[in-house]
Amino acid sequence: MNTDPQRKIELVCPAGGLPALKAAVDNGADCVYFGFKDATNARNFTGLNFDLAQIEEGIAYAHAHDRKVLLALNTFPLASNQSNWNAAVDRAAALHVDAIIMADPGLMAYTRHAHPDMRLHLSVQGSATSYEAINFYHERFGIRRVVLPRVLSLAQVEQLAANTPVEIEVFGFGGLCVMVEGRCALSAYATGKSPNCNGACSPDQFVRWEQTPRGMETRLNGILIDRYADDERAGYPTLCKGRFAVKDETYYAIEEPTSLNTLELIPELARAGVAAIKIEGRQRNPAYVAQVTRVWRAALDAFASEQARFSVREAWMTELNKVSEGQSHTLGAYYRPWK
């Protein structure tokens, strides 16, 4: 693995729709990632994702600006619908995407057989946290890049990168999840729908907002997730980030809404051999994508030119905090002071 800190780190940005894709490209993304308008991707929400005409326009726009386009085909098919996922792979190949991000080994096997020249990236939902696992996917299915789960410390990322020829991509900014990277047992318990097979945590058909005398209530399949005062912004109801009554307190009992922000770790990530930094947020609007991409582009460019003199600008953090969940940020599992 190339651990040269001067190696250019790619900036991989989300595109939940065509305006977001163009915003990412215009503000400096090296790669954009998107999904089809169906359950083959893990952000299968109403109003998101691309139809065929939008995909063709988006790919043409990105390639005209010399940027790469990655398709998130990262949910798991069932035996009863495997053909839908196989057809999605065929469609991606016909569209000439630069890589497919996937998690299901059966789908990888199909892709390698049907489209041997297609570049494959292992999705974060593949949950590969050891170099042995990553090397298995590389040897068996030709995986060229892995998106690491957000549960590893910096030391673990470095140790992993040193023992695999596979490119390493890590999340640098965006929402966090207490589950095993999208395999949400809480959402499945509440709705009966598996996010990894149906493409959405808290599927929108189960989501309700209701104004009550006690405030705006958000529910998931009838379960009260949160209640907001008139001066609070009502968020999308997910069980992990709800406020619940526990004994005599009401608080974020499972996870507080905060965003991962690793700007200050750019030098360490470069030294560890990280090839790409991913921005979470296909469910976000184009303004969010533009703002986050612009800041990260400036930071990565500054590091490339400054190296050891690199420091995080206060203005960057201010801009990112504006779009962070709860307007706060964390280094997540990367920073563990007790280790």
| Model pLDDT for residues 228-240, shown as the tens digit of each residue | 998 888 888 888 8
235 lies in the same domain as 273: no
226 lies in the same domain as 93: no
272 lies in the same domain as 169: yes
For 240, the 3-state DSSP assignment is: helix
pLDDT in tens, 38-51: 999 988 888 889 99
**pLDDT of 95 above 80:** yes
38 lies in the same domain as 171: yes
Strand 215-220 and strand 207-212: the pairing is: antiparallel
Domain containing residue 141: 10-176+258-334
Final residue in a domain of this structure, among 251, 271, 290: 251
Residue 2 falls inside a structural domain: no
Biggest distance spanned by C-alpha atoms of the chain = 60
171 lies in the same domain as 277: yes
Contact 134, 156 (CB under 8 A): no
229 lies in the same domain as 313: no
232 lies in the same domain as 307: no
Mean per-residue pLDDT of the chain = 91
Residue 75 falls inside a structural domain: yes
Contact 275, 30 (CB under 8 A): no
Mean predicted confidence (pLDDT) in 80-89: 95
Residue 133 falls inside a structural domain: yes
40 lies in the same domain as 104: yes
Torsion angles phi and psi, residue 281, rounded to 5: 140, 40
Q: What's the number of domains the chain is made of?
A: 2
| Highest-confidence segment of 36-50, 116-130, 317-331 | 116-130
pLDDT at 2: 47
122 lies in the same domain as 90: yes
Q: What is the CATH number of the domain that holds 96?
A: 3.20.20.70
Its pTM stands at 0.91
Name the nearest CA neighbour of 42 among 154, 139, 175, 209. 175
Residue 142 falls inside a structural domain: yes
Report the Cα–Cα distance between both ends of the chain, in Å, rounded.
24
Residue 339 falls inside a structural domain: no
For 334, the 3-state DSSP assignment is: helix
pLDDT at 211: 94
